[in-house]
Structure 1
Amino acid sequence: MFSIFDLSLQLNGFPIKKAKSDLDKIIALSIEEKRQFIENQKQNIVEFHLENNLFYQNLVGSKNYKNWEELPVLNKTNLQIQLESRLSKGFSTKNCYVNKTSGSSGEPFIFAKDKYCHALTWASNMYRFGQFGIDLNRSLQARFYGIPLDFFGYQKERIKDYLAHRYRFPIFDLSDEILEKMLQKFQSKKFEYLNGYTSSIVLFAKFLRKRNLILKEICPTLKVCMITSEMLFEDDKILLETQFGIPIINEYGASELDLIAFENPNKELLINSETLFVEILDENNNPVPNGTEGKIVITSLFNKAHPFIRYDIGDIGILDEKSTLDKPILKKLIGRTNDVAILPSGKKSPGLTFYYVTKSIIEDDGNVKEFVIKQLEIDQFEIEYVSETELDLAQIQKIEESISLYLEPHLHFNFIRKNSLERTSRGKLKQFTSLL
């Protein structure tokens, strides 16, 4: 029997019933069967895209390949061309799930998943959350995320929240007055779990610490907190456990892929090997031994609409020494940190807010290749960007309107076009940095 969230997915063309059934079969495989499944699926998805995807054929250089290691590593720059030119035969923006990456790496692009692949993403979420007693069809979520502020975008997200049993706390303003209102919601609603951006949830925990409050005592129905999108440092995890009084679960995902890794009840950051294949490679794209850091390169095993094969996500990580093909464990994730912007009004906004600010410059023509934002003074910001053509006055005005809407008015932004952007020693862009 369908519940409302499952039913809404099914009605929108996402075959969640089949996806759940198929995922259950993959989870039930023996170790040897699982290894064989991964190898078969890798081969199937490459052969499919070499046969049906001109973009991927051109990238590989032919319709044939000898071995996996010879396949090119796909990077975000490769994907900054029009989406239509990257889709496989038989797929269009009309029959796929289409979205934009957050651009948290500073390299935004639009992507697509076929509807079965996207249903598998939701089946994967449901399975992993279910390990902690959370039912996405019934459990009420306290959601610490951004939300579009234009009328239609806002209403669409609120409808999705209703169907998915979520109450959203927009995280653009995390001043004490707003955090106090959030706290009142925890007194009146039977939340079962928190989910959202690390920095926002940490700010809420610091607010509770100032008031010497434990969230579980205020909202006894709470079971668990899942944090995502930004790194969770050990001292912050201790703070969250202390102030919330519930387990804190680390999640690592990417909208264009799936949940990449999810902390299991044994406190291991277990990589999703049901729908993804994850490699850790050195700078020459050779695999590194377990226990050695390298770039995280991911293959989506089921996405037929769009190739994500040996895709360099832009993060650095280390596989645990005891990792195996059927049970890979992420020992450490390096990168993905975000600062918090403090604004003249006293308002605090997490760095991921800038995704919503810069969304207006992420156009499908791929003009803006990369961008970083720096806070120089309390009201002075700098946007450095790499693009084929310079942003015109109309585009800049659009961005400034977006800044006033999502942050606050009277902030000053200087736009600087560059040939290349400064990267960390690990080759990673940090989208937002506060120099205060």
Structure 2
Amino acid sequence: MNRVFRLFDFSLQMQGFPMKKAKKQYAQIRNLSSEKFADYLLPQREAIVAHHVQHNPLYQQLVSQKNSADWLSLPIMTKKHFQQPLAQRLSEGYTVKNVYVNKTSGSSGDPFIFAKDKFSHALTWANIITQFGQFGIDFNTSYQARFYGIPLDTMGYAKERLKDFLSGRFRFPIFDLSDKVLEEVLATFRRKKFDNINGYTSSIVLFAKFLQQKNIVLKDVCPTLKCCVVTSEMLFPEDKILLENQFGIPIINEYGASELDLIAFQNPKGEWQVNAETLFVEILDAQDNPVPNGQEGRIVITSLYNKAHPFIRYDIGDLGILDEKSTLQKPILHKLIGRTNDIAVLPSGKKSPGLTFYYVTKSIIEDDGNVQEFVIKQTKIDTFEIEYVSRIALTLPQIKAIEQAIETYLESGLTFHFSRKETLVRSKSGKLKQFVSLI
């Protein structure tokens, strides 16, 4: 894999990312003592605000009536603030030609194009390299089995395949994960010396269920494997156990956002450690006030180094809880609850995270391994559709048990329609949205 090492290093260099500078600064931040960390964080937070107040017209307009020196008075930003051409959102001195430009997948329903200055994106890479390195993965030499979507247009497809080649990755497109395709995936693992797996949670879980049916442990088939990183979708505790059993390697939970950075990455102690080096993460209530550690709230994030595009107190659209033992230097994400727009409003007026339905239903219909995947859609205030993929259809007693469990956990009087499917519809990026409210 020495060839991959040269290509990966060369590709970052050719894109203008100052990796040596970024790695040096990132290491300095990580090596700060707990006493000195606040002396680093607070001035850096003030500096990025001051930069955008002075150089970014969009942010100038947002804070025009605010005291920019008072952190809690700064406005909460959302994607709705960015509904204008990218060139109009960039800070002075930056153009679409001298920044890193990308776009979100739109899994939240609000895709948009964003930018990061080259140093900020280099810091992102420094963070990724460091986090994966905790588990023996070296981006210079690793060979990754990648379960991701891929653009199907000719240019987009070719671009992603080139990026995979330069980065030492073998991509398994996830739009068709039938047993026939998964047989081919398994055969590839037999042939190739992968050392890590990375991709969307639902697709990797589906592969693990396929292995379970065949009573195969992937590590036995591909002994070079070291770890598996799941991302972009919820990882449920029982699915993590399944993955550990069927892969025979550590399962690492990643939480990130393409417009920001890695937000949290599970460390070797099993803690979901929040990125405090390049981001400042807050948990806020409905009135935009910080909540105590241990309480649920909206996840709001500030990118501390992106000078090209402001992401200051940016509401990413997720709900979460920081662990009570969190510190300024080492915040721990206790729980990621789901997206703020994944809320079910019930006839009684009660509001419940949509994943509540998913948790309850999952605990029942997957007991025997028959159901491979399912999603829940709220079509009316009292009506839900449950679409599922299985080898045999759910029985009437199983359906009644699900309805009874949901009534116990939520409320009575709800109507459910069950629909067995050959496959479930995924987003263009290949993600599977587990709960959708259509009201």
Tell me the secondary structure at the aligned position of residue 245 of structure 2.
helix
1:261 to 250, 261, 264: 264
Query: Does the residue aligned with 2:193 lie in a helix, a strand or coil?
Result: coil
- 1:199–1:350: 8 Å Cα contact kept in structure 2? no
- Which amino acid is 2:288 matched to? N
C-alpha distance after superposition, 1:216-246 (max 9, x if no partner): 0000000000000001000000000000000
For 2:226, the aligned partner's letter is K
Query: Structure 2, unaligned stretches of length 5 or more?
Result: 343-354, 359-371, 376-383, 389-424
Distance in 1 (CA, whole Å) between partners of 2:7 and 2:87 is 32
Runs of at least 4 residues of structure 1 off by over 2 A? 1-4, 336-339, 348-351, 374-378, 403-407, 430-435
Equivalent residue number for residue 297 of structure 2: 294
Q: Is the 8 A contact 2:100 2:116 kept in 1?
A: yes
**Quick one: distance in 2 between partners of 1:267 and 1:431?**
25
In structure 1, the residue matched to 2:123 is 120
Kindly provide the amino acid, as one letter, of the partner of residue 165 in structure 1: G
Equivalents in 1 of 2:127, 2:386: separation in Å? 41
Aligned to 2:252, what secondary structure does the other structure show?
A: strand
Name which of 80, 84, 95 aligns with 2:98: 95
- Are the equivalent residues in 2 in contact too, given 1:262–1:269 (CA < 8 A)? yes
Q: Does 1:177 align with 2:180?
A: yes
Aligned to 2:216: 213
Aligned to 2:288: 285
Q: Which residue of 1 aligns with 2:324?
A: 321
Q: Deviations over 1:160-197 (max 9, x none)?
A: 11111100001111111111100001000000000000
**Letter paired with 1:89:** E
Residue 168 of structure 2: which of 127, 141, 165 is its match?
165
The answer for the alignment partner of 1:60 in structure 2 is 63
Q: Distance in 2 between matches of 1:320 and 1:75?
A: 25
Q: In the alignment, residue 300 of structure 2 is paired with which amino acid?
A: V
* Alpha-carbon separation, structure 1, partners of 2:426 and 2:436: 19
Letter of the 1:151 counterpart: T
1:7 alignment partner in structure 2: 10
Q: Helix, strand or coil for the counterpart of 1:335?
A: strand
Moved more, 289-298 or 101-110: 101-110
Q: Counterparts of 1:239 and 1:377 in 2: how far apart (Å)?
A: 22
Structure 2 contact 66–73 (Cα < 8 Å) conserved: no
Corresponding residue to 1:249 among 249, 252, 264: 252
Q: Which has the higher contact order (CA 8 A, sep 6+)?
A: 1
| Residue-by-residue CA offset, 1:405-434 (whole Å, 9 max, x unaligned) | 979xxxxxxxxxxxxxxxxxxxxxx68649
Q: 1:123 to 1:139 in 2, by over 3 A?
A: same
**Residues 172, 349 of structure 1: 8 Å contact kept:** no
Match of 2:81 in 1: 78
2:36 alignment partner, one of 33, 36, 48: 33
In the alignment, does 2:140 pair up with 1:137? yes
Measured after TM superposition, the shift of residue 3 of structure 1 is: 3.7
Indicate the larger mover: 274-283 or 106-115: 106-115
Q: Distance in 1 between matches of 2:108 and 2:426?
A: 23
- Check the 8 A contact 1:198/1:231 in 2, yes or no: yes
User: Where do residues 302-313 of structure 1 align in structure 2 (5 Å cutoff)?
Assistant: 302-313=305-316
1:335 equivalent among 329, 334, 338: 338
> Is the deviation greater in 42-51 or in 6-15?
6-15
Distance 2:94 2:211 in 1: 49
Query: How far apart are 1:80 and its partner, in Å?
Result: 1.9
Give the Cα separation in 1 of the matches to 2:300 and 2:289: 11
Matched, 1:189 2:202: no
1:350/1:120 CA distance change after superposition, 3 Å: farther
CA distance in 1, matches of 2:252, 2:179: 25
Determine if contact 2:150/2:160 at 8 Å carries over to the other structure. yes
CA–CA distance in structure 2, aligned partners of residues 162 and 349 of structure 1:
31
Cα displacement string for residues 393-416 of structure 1 (whole angstroms, at most 9, x for unaligned residues): xxxxxxxxxx99979xxxxxxxxx
What value does the CA root-mean-square deviation take over the aligned residues? Answer: 2.6
Q: What amino acid is the match of 1:120?
A: L
C-alpha distance in 1 between matches for 2:218 and 2:159 = 30
Q: What secondary structure, in the 3-state scheme, does the structure 1 residue paired with 2:223 have? A: coil
Structure index of larger Rg? 2
Number of aligned residue pairs: 359
Assess if the C-alpha contact under 8 Å between 2:66 and 2:74 holds in 1.
Answer: no
Residue 198 of structure 1 is aligned with which of 190, 193, 201? Answer: 201
Residue equivalent to 1:238? 241
CA distance in 2, matches of 1:405, 1:312: 22
Q: What fraction of aligned residue pairs are identical, expressed as a percent?
A: 63
Query: What is the TM-score normalised by the length of structure 2?
Result: 0.77
Alpha-carbon contact 1:296-1:312 (below 8 Å) kept: yes
- Report deviation, 1:106: 1.3
Answer whether contact 1:149 1:406 (CA < 8 A) is retained. Answer: no
Deviation string, structure 1 residues 300-352 (Cα, Å, up to 9, x no partner): 0000000000000000000000101111110000015999xxxxxxxx9999x
C-alpha separation in 2, matches of 1:237 and 1:405: 23
Q: Distance in 1 between matches of 2:41 and 2:312?
A: 13
Q: Distance in 1 between matches of 2:278 and 2:71?
A: 18
Which residue number corresponds to residue 367 of structure 2? none
